[in-house]
Structure 1
Amino acid sequence: MFMLPFVTTMREGVEAVVFVGGVSLGYPATSFPLPVITGILAAGFVGYFIYRGGNELSIRVFLVISSCILYLIAAGMFSKSIWSLQYHMFAVKVGSDVAEAGDGPGSYDILQTVWHLNCCNPETDDGWDVFNAVLGWQNTATYGSVIAYNCYWIFIMACLACMMYEEKTGSLPFKNAIIKGLLRVPILNIWVKRKLAVSRANATELVRQGQEHLREQLGQSNNYDQEMAIKKNGTVETVQAIHTIDD
């Protein structure tokens, strides 16, 4: 129980030192205290909130909220990755100095842009870099980034719909049709047959374990009934003996 928390904490600490050290090499030492203090206070507040909220909120509500936050972060990262790829291709065409062009014309590819704001730049405007890091915000939206963002949420909604369908029916939609189609593929059919065999074996094992558990429960219940009957008979005999003595 000691090694796992120790290794996890050490890894996070080393990662923080490496990344912070790599980013902050060009800054003076006076620029560190305020971010460090702010980070410690924020971490303490979040930790206290999770600790106190864990006693008040149900684990289901906490998992739903945390999952939604992770979905938002993942959506921003996916959209930002497509945007960065398109921006890199644009920079290769016009030169690397485009990064210093600011927010005006020439700083973005107008042919691939859905909209552009001359403000709220995460690279130059204070505060917007937080939204860029967490939610993937960019003041320039390209066709690729917008389509990627929408496709991500469509994929998430489809996955949730399939999970809800499986929870209600016990099987994923189109599962049998997909399996039949894969069994017709010469190479994949071997892998599918192995997976089906393992799945059937696991199902059989689960049924066997369930039956054994039921037998144990029934055995314990029968033993309990027998003990209660013995105690009841003993109590009745004791009462009868007392009445006999009184008579």
Structure 2
Amino acid sequence: MIATVMISMMGIPMLRMNNMQSKWRVKIARSLVEIPHRKRDYFKIGFLSRRYAMFILPFITVLREGLEAVVFVAGAGITTQGSHASAYPLPVVVGLICGGLVGYLLYYGASKSSLQIFLILSTSILYLISAGLFSRGAWYFENYRFNLASGGDASEGGDGNGSYNIRKAVYHVNCCNPELDNGWDIFNALLGWQNTGYLSSMLCYNIYWLVLIIVLSLMIFEERRGHLPFAKNLQLKHLNPGYWIKNKKKQELTEEQKKQLFAKMENINFNEDGEINVQENYELPEQTTSHSSSQDVVADKQPPHVKTDSL
């Protein structure tokens, strides 16, 4: 269940990569322009995380994947009956070759084709895996209840009658068991396939896709109209409690402020010590609320029009 939520949340930014570029551009510009006034502020976690975000994120990702690979390879070798030490190099070498091949295709293929196509395909595969995980969770729960009632692990007794709860099963085939038949465990891991379809597992699978379609449809509507349906002053980010807890509304910039920020970033230079110097001619205006627009800012700066009577 937790993996399903994490994969679903991770896939949404991958689908909106083109729209996320503008947000990352603002974040990177602010990390370069906003220089602490005191030297001790350079060592604060907030400043370091903003300044070195493009290093910290890949570093943590590679470190996590490396630890995960060691744990899973070692765990598979220890728990597999009759395994030998000679079984370790094959999955490690194959994994390194596959990872290097994917990285090579991403690095050299992005210049010849659209990266958005790759992100859409990879995200679709992730969502198939996520839907399968959600369905498998419900299936294992039903299977656990049936095992408690029958007094044993019925799914390992075969594919015929008595291996499943017929009162809650929608379909059943006497083959293709991912726990007994070789090869079908791959479909079970990737797509959540089971030779017995319980009502709860099938409902979870369809509900997952229904919720995902609704969320993505709302995001598409918001990107085109600027608000959610039937609510002109409401956006999806406003439904996130963290938006109000962290008071992100005050940190939002108008279009005029973004132009000032980018103009300030273009005038960045470095001194002999490698420190950033920014020209003082470009200063960000005071923070305004998210409801104000650039036209309002320009209108406030114009002098009021005074109507005088002709002599």
Instruction: Tell me the TM-score normalized by structure 2.
Output: 0.56
Deviation at 1:214, TM superposition (A): 9.6
Deviation at 1:3, TM superposition (A): 6.4
Change (3 A) 1:119 1:37: farther
Indicate the residue corresponding to 2:217 in structure 1: 161
Query: Is 1:206 the equivalent of 2:259?
Result: no
Indicate the residue corresponding to 2:66 in structure 1: 13
- Choose 57-66 or 137-146, whichever is displaced more: 57-66
C-alpha distance in structure 1 between counterparts of 2:191 and 2:56, whole Å: 34
Query: Is 1:125 the equivalent of 2:181?
Result: yes
- Choose 70-79 or 169-178, whichever is displaced more: 169-178
Deviation at 1:83, TM superposition (A): 0.8
Percentage of matched positions with identical amino acids: 42
Change (3 A) 1:42 1:195: closer
Q: Which amino acid aligns with 1:165?
A: F
Task: Map residues 1-247 of structure 1 onto 2, 5 A cutoff.
Answer: 5-25=58-78, 26-29=81-84, 30-175=86-231, 195=244, 198=247, 201-203=250-252, 205-207=253-255, 209-210=257-258, 212=260
Change (3 A) 1:82 1:214: closer
Indicate the residue corresponding to 2:17 in structure 1: none
| 3-state secondary structure, aligned to 2:153 | helix
CA contact (8 A) 2:168 2:198 kept: yes
Deviation at 1:34, TM superposition (A): 4.5
| 3-state secondary structure, aligned to 2:223 | helix
CA contact (8 A) 2:228 2:234 kept: no
CA contact (8 A) 2:227 2:234 kept: no
| 3-state secondary structure, aligned to 2:179 | coil
Change (3 A) 1:44 1:96: farther
| 3-state secondary structure, aligned to 1:110 | coil
C-alpha distance in structure 2 between counterparts of 1:12 and 1:196, whole Å: 31
CA contact (8 A) 2:155 2:164 kept: no
| 3-state secondary structure, aligned to 2:111 | helix
- Once the two structures are superposed, what CA deviation does each residue of 1:117-156 show, in whole Å capped at 9, x if it has no partner? 1111111111111111111111111101111111111111
Change (3 A) 1:107 1:54: same
Change (3 A) 1:207 1:198: farther
- Choose 153-162 or 92-101, whichever is displaced more: 92-101
Which consecutive residues of structure 1, in runs of 5 or more, have no partner in the other structure?
Answer: 180-190, 217-247
Indicate the residue corresponding to 1:229 in structure 2: none
| Structure in which a larger fraction of residues adopt helix | 1
Indicate the residue corresponding to 1:240 in structure 2: none
C-alpha distance in structure 2 between counterparts of 1:46 and 1:15, whole Å: 18
Instruction: Tell me the TM-score normalized by structure 1.
Output: 0.69
Change (3 A) 1:130 1:51: farther
C-alpha distance in structure 2 between counterparts of 1:139 and 1:132, whole Å: 10
- Choose 63-72 or 25-34, whichever is displaced more: 25-34
Q: Which amino acid aligns with 2:257?
A: Q
- By relative contact order (CA 8 Å, sep 6+), the higher-ranking structure is 2
The structure with the larger Rg is 1
Which consecutive residues of structure 2, in runs of 5 or more, have no partner in the other structure?
Answer: 1-51, 236-240, 265-311
Q: Which amino acid aligns with 1:49?
A: L
| 3-state secondary structure, aligned to 2:167 | helix
What is the Cα-based RMSD across aligned positions, in Å? 3.4
| 3-state secondary structure, aligned to 2:163 | coil
| 3-state secondary structure, aligned to 1:119 | coil
